[in-house]
Every structure is written in structure tokens, then in C-alpha cells.
Structure 1
Amino acid sequence: MHITSFFLAIGLASALDNGLARTPQLGWDTWNSFGCSLNATVILETAQKITSLGFKDLGYNYVVMDDCWSAGRNSSGYLVPNSQKFPNGIKDLADKIHNMGLKIGIYSSAGTMTCARYAGSLGYEEKDASLWASWGIDYLKYDNCYNQGEEGTPKLSYDRYDAMGKALNSTGRPILYSLCNWGVDGPWNFAPTIGNSWRMSGDLFNTWDRQDVNCPCAELEGLNCKTPGYHCSVLNVLGKAVYIPSKAYAGAWNDLDMLQVGNGGLTDDEAIAHFSLWAALKSPLLMTNVMTKIDAPTLSILQNTAVLAVSQDPEGSSAVRVWRYNVDGGDIQMFSGSLSGGDQVVLLLNGGSTAREMNATLTEIFWMDGVSGTASQVQSSWDVYDLWADRMSNSTADAIIQGDGKRPINMTAMGGAEKVYAQTPLPTTKALMGSKVGSVKAAGTVKAFVQPHGVAMLRLREVKSNDEL
């Protein structure tokens, strides 16, 4: 290691020494489905469903209350929860969440007001952090509204967000710090030193690919966007995220925004592609659907353990876009990323309006490893697993929802989600690997038939024996 790299690594390790988000966080957030209608009942009922439906068992452990929870500040300058929404206070709610084996998150903004115009935390960082710690808060989503113009350079944004990061650390309580400044001032360049994740774009809406005046920036332009906006489509956010995958690492993640799976607006194929891409690019996965009204297709997407195993892979390496071509009806793209144990994840994304066979050569799949790194990989043979081939059936999902069905995999019985996902390499089980759909000989080509606005998500594992494929 070069000396400069050594000191950089030491500095980052020190700055992020809260031990949290070693893999991207999993959980649920109130905002997309409830907005300002959140209350203790909504949160507790959701937490109960996260537990009873098996989401907690799969690693979804954060329950985050978003904006509109407070009633302002008292005469001493401390935040007070809305007594109608939270009649027993936040600490009582946190205790109940913790008793379910889950963790609780809260929201504020690095401004004088939150985005819904409740009291913000700018200038009150130490008071707010100490209060949240006393309540037992485990997670902070920290927004960017009404920031008094303290943005426009990375240093201005860094200082404002660093103030809260230092305040959280000073409490002595491990609190996951999720920065939500919408990509303003390039947070991927400074946020890794102070937070566990950072929003890199405007707010994600439940649309696949749509030009919207409320989300004016796209692609490279979006990396320096002064008005990142909202109503951003899945492909709009993806088009910005592809340029910064190297900024993410264990404990610090690019946040492509909360999941829209189960909220309407996306077709089933689009929802699968959205979930797959967010997992492969190592974005935090925060569900936002109404959990008490979840349907079978939504549950079967969010509980795909083979995809979650990619998200939670201990190597923590984000997939990268290797190529993109415009075809009739839209773009086709290929993503590839390394996994622990020498495995590789490959995504073939069909943004077009017609189904098509897509393919990628081993040279393309291992392109990011460079010529010397790919020589042995390209000349090796690989088993290919389809991570969606064993998607839970609607009948199985319905049985789980009704409370009379068994889940396909019991993480708790196997030692817990964290232990299972961390196995290197993962055991060859359908629940964690999908189904083997073929093999690729040396210098060969991976092929898949992909639906419109859909994705083929594949896992490659090197064939170690000398047996014929």
C-alpha cells in the first residue's frame, strides 16, 4: 500500500468508527405511504407485520419515522413529539420497537425547518442528538430543507452535516447516520467521512422512466445539479448512480432513495428490476409500502433472499455499468460486480419496450478487473444461477400473509441473517443462490431472455473441478 493510501484508510476508519451499516441498511420508512399521517399506531402495526411476516428474520430491522412527528420546541429548546400522534412519547414507542427485536429511526433536517415545515435541527445539533439518544433512537435520516443558503460548495454542506455527525457520536450511542441532501455539492466526496449513507439524487417517484420538470437533471448533468428535485424516475436515478459506484464501501453507501416496490406505478417487471438494481448497486433498501395491506407479488419481491444475499454480501462491492446501447424502444445495459468467495453478479437490463435475448461475454463481465485480472477469469468456466428463477409463488406468499404458511428459509434457525449472508462462499441452496440455469465455458457468453423494462439477475460461480460441464 502506498503511504498516502495508508493514511487515507486510517482517516476513513477513524471517522466512521460507529460499527454500523457494514452492509447497506434494511428496513422500512413511513414517508411514501403515510406522509404526515404517521403516528404510533401506524409504526407499531408495521413493526408487528415486519416481524410476523418474516421481514425481520431476513434482516429488515430499522423502522424509521419520517417527517411530521414533532410539535416544535419547548422553552428549553428541546424538540417535543406531537402528543396526539404519540400520546405516550417517543421513548415508549422506541421501547416497544426494541422489545420486538427491531431498531427505530427518526427524521430531521439540516435547516431551520424540515421539508414539511416542522422544527429543523440547524443550530440545535447537540440538543437534538442527546435527546434522541435518551429516547433510544438507532437511526437518523437528516434532510436538506430550509438550510439558510448553507450550500453551494462541498465545504458548506460538509460543515452543516458534520455538525450533526459529531453531535451523534458525542452521545455515545451508536446511531446510524443517513444524510439526505439529494446529491447537492457531491456528498459522495465528503459524506463517507461523516455518515453511513448519503442520498445521491432527487427524490425517487414510483415511475419507471419519465421526463418530469420536477426532476430536471439527468445523467452526468445530475452530478452537479443545483435543483435535484423530486418525482425522479427509476431510470433517472440509476443514470446518475452509475458514475459513482466506487464511492461506496462497508459502512458508507450511495443511497438511491427508498424503495417504491408495492406502491403502484411500477409493473411487476419494473419493480423486480428496481429492487435488483438497488440491491446490486448497494443502496440501502428501505421499504415504504403499507405493510398491513401487502399483497403476494410485493412480498415475494421484497423477500427474495437470493437478491438480498447480493445486497448484504460482505465484500460490499457495488456493481458497475459496463455497457449501454440504445435499441428500438429504449436502452439496454449490462452491470457486473464482484461478490465474496469469487462469485460475480451480472444484471442484463432491458429498458426497451419489447422482450429480447440479451448476452454478455466473460470478457465484458470481468472488464473492470483489467487485462491482467481477467485473464484467468475469462479462461475459466462458470456455473450460472438465475436469482429470480425461484421467486416465491403467489400462493406461498398469500399463505404467509394470512399467517398460515411457512417461509422458504428460516434465517433465525440458521444463525440469523447477518451470519447467513456473511458465509463465504454462500451455500449452494436455491433460497440464497437461485436456480442453476446453465454453465459458461472458457471465453463464453452468458445469455438471458429479458422482458420489457425488466432485468435478468445472474450469479456466476467458478467451476473448480475438472468435470465436464
Structure 2
Amino acid sequence: MKKILIVAMITVFALGAKAQKFEGLADTPPMGWNSWNKFACDVTEDLIKETADAMVSSGMKDAGYEYIVIDDCWHGERDSLGFIQADPARFPSGIKALADYVHSKGLKFGIYSDAGWQTCGGRPGSRGREYQDAMTYASWGVDYLKYDWCNTEGLKAEGAYLTMRDALYEAGRPIVLSICEWGDNDPWDWAEPIGHLWRTTGDIYNCFDCEEDHGTWSSWGVLQIIDMHPGIRSAAGPGHWNDPDMMEVGNGMTVNEDRAHFALWAMQAAPLIAGNDIRNMSPETLEILTNKDVIAIDQDTLGVQGYKHIDEEDYEVWVKPLAGGDVAICFLNRTEEAMDITFDWATNKLVDPDFGHTTDFAQSRYDIYNVWTHKKAGNTKKALKASLPGRDVLMLRLSKK
């Protein structure tokens, strides 16, 4: 097999085909599961198989989730020819057999590497081995690559990710490239022709409103992440998405906080990558993660990221234009205490600051549908009045009459 890979690499290089990003792989934000938030380096072959089983049996696959992604620490050593191998104790059957198992469930398989000498967990990175690793991933049947940014001293991010993009393309298997350089190098300015999604912030933390200080870097709560980089929504769209990191739904926040977290990610047209143990979910967690009305807003084919219409420190209103003239609107209570809200549709003309979409409720009436209760909720003829629980959302879909 390795001799075949080497011959294939030589053949590809000789052809000199112009490399590019694989198109059509992420026309809507990717949906799936990643091992890191819950399991960190404690990943095994059995865990991945059981998670694939659970994605099907729980209904998550039917709701649109499709990628099973192993994050850091799956790696063993490179062999005498430099080919990366899986840790034989954790993945005794090898990655190819594991990918085949995931595919047999009707799902897609993802893996992790790093642009530096080592991954964040100290395993072998891809620096200097990009084409060799890309050919290996293609031979294993990988569909998605999360590519991190640890131990990259002396590298320029745009060039490093361009190298891996070209390597994946020349390997010949369509693979989603998830750029994970934490927004440090403004990827929204350069990453569209390179990757299918790019991280906009440092790592998420299982907290609604906090910062976890690691000394030289921090992990961030849900509210901290949505407050970062407010001017980048115009960079996102079909095939190229801003990524505020994997979700923490089901990892210990309250139900209200999980609901708000999921709603805000959907309003941002963010990739919906679950990060909990989907083998053991509460009914409330499953209900949030598989809410098809919320998922439809995230996966809307117009591909426009939401914007903040009202920002009053403790209270926000987010708006997301949708295909066919529909509009999603999300009222967020950032505080721990319930609040009463009033929203006069007639005096709140919605004007998209980047894409020009306009909704004038004084001129047109819209029917209101509550995506959490799955019920009709009147129309925009009269002002909306509601009680909004602490750290929760009211999320509505509006359709023109």
C-alpha cells in the first residue's frame, strides 16, 4: 500500500495540475461531532464506533449531522518511510477500517492534524509531510480534516494552509478543510479560496459567560465568543463559513444556556459540530441538538450569517435573512434574571448592514412561528410582548403573508 502511495505522489507531482479547494462540499455549514470537547486525548476505536452508532440511533443523522471527527491524539509514530500511523493500542484495527465502519453507517469520517511539527497534544504534526499525509488520508477514506496551528513557529498561516489545501486536492479525494488557527491571522480576509470553514476565536469553554485563563492563552464562554469580531459576517457564505468553534451543548450548562448557545450558533450560520457524549444524552440535550426548525435556520440555502439588530448590553436582538424572503429573529437575555420584552414590529425596520436585505413590517405583515415550541405565534400586526427567562432566547421564524 505504501509503495502505491509513493507512486501516486510522484505521478501527481509530475502532472502538475493546478490545485484548488474542492467545491460543493460545504454549501451549508457542516454538521457533525468532534471528540475534543468531551474526551480530549482519551480517544479510542471503540469510542468512535459507539459514537457513530449513537449518531444514527439517536436521530442525529436524520436531523442532518453527518461527520464523525477524531480530534487530537489518535496518532502513533511515523514509520520508516515517514507515513503516519494510528496509535496501535487505541486504534488496533487502523484508521482505514474505522473510516469504513463510519461510512457503513451512512456517515462521513473526519480526522485531525496540525500545520506545525507537533499537534497541540504533542503528536506528530504535518509540517514538511503535507503531501504524504494528504495521500494517506485519501487512502484511508477521510472526508474532513481539522487542521490546527500549534508549534508553527516561523510559518505564515495563509501559506501553510494553502500548502495543505493543494496537498488534499492533488491527493484526489474530496476532503473538507477546517482551518483552525483560532482567528489569530484574520482568516476571514484570505481563507475563502483555501478552506471550507475557519475558526474565528480561541477554544470554546463549557461556560455561558466566562473566560478560562491558561496563562498565555484563554478559553472562552458562549457570550465571549459571539462578542468577538463583529465585522466579519460578510466573509461567510456557501462553501466558506466563519466557525466560532465546536458546541458545548450537553456538557454541563443549564438547559436555558444550551438552548441559547445552539440558537446563537444557528443564527450565525455556524458549523454545528456537537462536542458532547452523544452516547449518553439527556432528553433535553437531544431535543436541542435535533431541533429541525433551528437546524433549518442554520442550514438555510441563502447562506447569510445573522447580524445584531439591537444591542442593549443585557438584551440583544439578532436577525438572519433566509431564502425565499423569510426572516429568523432571536431575542437574547444575557442576564441570569428573567426580563419582560416588548418589540414593536412596525417601528423596527430590519436593514442588513452587509448584504442589503430589508424587512419593513410597516409595509408587510409576517406570520410568526416559534421554533422551540413548534407553534404558530400570531403575526406582526401587533407588538410582541414576552417574558424571557435568564440566559435564554426567544427564537422566531417570520414568513410573509
Question: How far has the Cα of 1:356 moved from its partner?
Answer: 1.4
1:130 aligns with 2:132: no
Cross-structure match for 2:386: 448
- Preserved contact between residue 348 and residue 360 of structure 2 (Cα < 8 Å): no
Q: SS where residue 190 of structure 2 aligns? A: helix
Residue in 2 aligned with 1:186?
Answer: 186
1:301-450 maps to which residues of 2 (within 5 A)? 301-326=288-313, 331-362=314-345, 363-364=347-348, 366-368=350-352, 374=358, 377-389=361-373, 434-441=374-381, 445-450=383-388
Which sits farther off after the overlay, 189-198 or 354-363? 354-363
Q: Which residue of 1 aligns with 2:220?
A: 232
- For 1:165, the equivalent position in structure 2 comes to 165
Instruction: State the secondary structure of the residue aligned to 1:37.
Output: coil
Query: Structure 2: 5+ residue runs without aligned partners?
Result: 1-18
Alpha-carbon shift at residue 172 of structure 1 (Å): 1.5
Q: Indicate how the Cα distance of structure 1 residues 384 and 262 shifts in structure 2: closer, same or farther if over 3 A, else same.
A: same
Call closer, same or farther: CA 1:380–1:159 in 2, change over 3 Å: same
| 1:176 corresponding residue in structure 2 | 176
Distance 1:165 1:24 in 2: 19
Q: CA deviation at 1:56?
A: 0.8
* 1:365 CA drift (Å): 5.2
Deviation at 1:366, TM superposition (A): 1.3
Contact 1:383 1:438 in 2 (8 A): yes
8 Å CA contact 1:348–1:359 kept in 2: the answer is no
Label 1:30 to 1:17 Cα distance change in 2 as closer, same or farther (>3 A). Answer: closer
1:153 match: none
Alpha-carbon shift at residue 196 of structure 1 (Å):
0.4
Deviations 1:176-207 (A, max 9, x none): 00000000110111111200000000100011
- How big is each residue's C-alpha offset from its partner over 1:19-44, in whole Å with a ceiling of 9 and x where there is no partner? 11100000001111111110110000
Corresponding letter in the other structure for 2:375: S
Question: What corresponds to 1:281 in structure 2?
Answer: 268
Residue equivalent to 1:258: 246
Among 243, 267, 284, the residue aligned to 1:297:
284
Residue 236 (structure 2) aligns with:
248
Counterpart code for 1:384: I
What is the CA distance between 1:242 and its match in structure 2? Answer: 3.0
**Local SS of the residue matching 2:348:** helix
* Partner SS for 1:106: strand
- Residue 256 of structure 2 is aligned with which of 247, 269, 288? 269
For residue 412 of structure 1, what is the aligned residue in structure 2?
none
Aligned 8 A contact 2:20 2:165 in 1: no
How many residue pairs match? The answer is: 381
User: Which position in structure 1 is the counterpart of 2:202?
Assistant: 202
Could you tell me whether the CA contact under 8 Å between 1:366 and 1:378 is conserved in 2? no
Are the structure 2 counterparts of residues 448 and 117 from structure 1 closer, same or farther at C-alpha, using a change threshold of 3 Å? same
> Is the 1:209–1:235 Cα contact (8 Å) retained in structure 2?
yes
Q: Distance in 1 between matches of 2:101 and 2:47?
A: 13
Distance 1:310 1:160, change over 3 A: same
| TM-score normalised by the chain length of structure 2 | 0.91
- On the 8 A contact 1:241/1:256 being kept in 2, the answer is no
Higher helix fraction (1 or 2) = 1
Change (3 A) 1:207 1:170: same
Amino acid at match of 1:122: R
Moved over 6 A (4+): none
- The answer (yes or no) to whether the contact 1:322–1:365 under 8 Å persists in 2 is no
Match of 2:63 in 1: 58
2:162 matches 1:143: no
